[in-house]
Amino acid sequence: MSAQDYSALLARLKQDFPTDSFLIVRFGDHQPEFAYRIIDPSLSEPAIARQLETFDPRYYTSYYAIDAVNFRPVDLSSALKALDAPYLPLLVQEAAGVPLDPSFSEQKNILKRCHGLFYRCAGGAEARRFNRLLIDAGLIKGLLT
């Protein structure tokens, strides 16, 4: 149903907006609830729990896809095969050709250093450092520090 609806969306955009440009990024923010049962059906509940505790990527990986209508993405250098979700806004901005502000430029440096990982890079140190930079710059407010 989703594939059919997506095809209909693309056709409608082309028909209703023949001269407008669209950049479309589709993603799944998590595995569906039933996924753990089909990834490895031979595992018991405790074995699955161990896989989750060790952050087995099979249980955490979802998908993203880039598409366009009447538009050619400008820069897809951040579109790696595997990419943690916090990088999606960076990917969208680059694909759209939007200049990066300093916070997204720093995030791109982390993306390159960490090869698409964010929270799990350097045991979480990169994410903590980046979040601290955002807090210190006043871009994140209202948190207890």
- Calculate the alpha carbon distances from 13 to 5, 16, 18, 59, 69 in Å: 12, 5, 7, 34, 7
**pLDDT of 97:** 96
Question: Could you tell me the residue ranges of all domains in the chain?
Answer: 80-145
Residue 58 confidence (pLDDT)? 80
SS3 of 124-142: the string is HHHHHHHHHHHHHCCCCCC
* Cα→Cα distances 23→6, 50, 54, 102, 115, Å: 14, 39, 35, 23, 24
Q: With a threshold of 0.75, does the pTM exceed it?
A: yes
Grade residue 28 by pLDDT with cuts at 50, 70 and 90: confident
d(CA 21, CA 39): 38
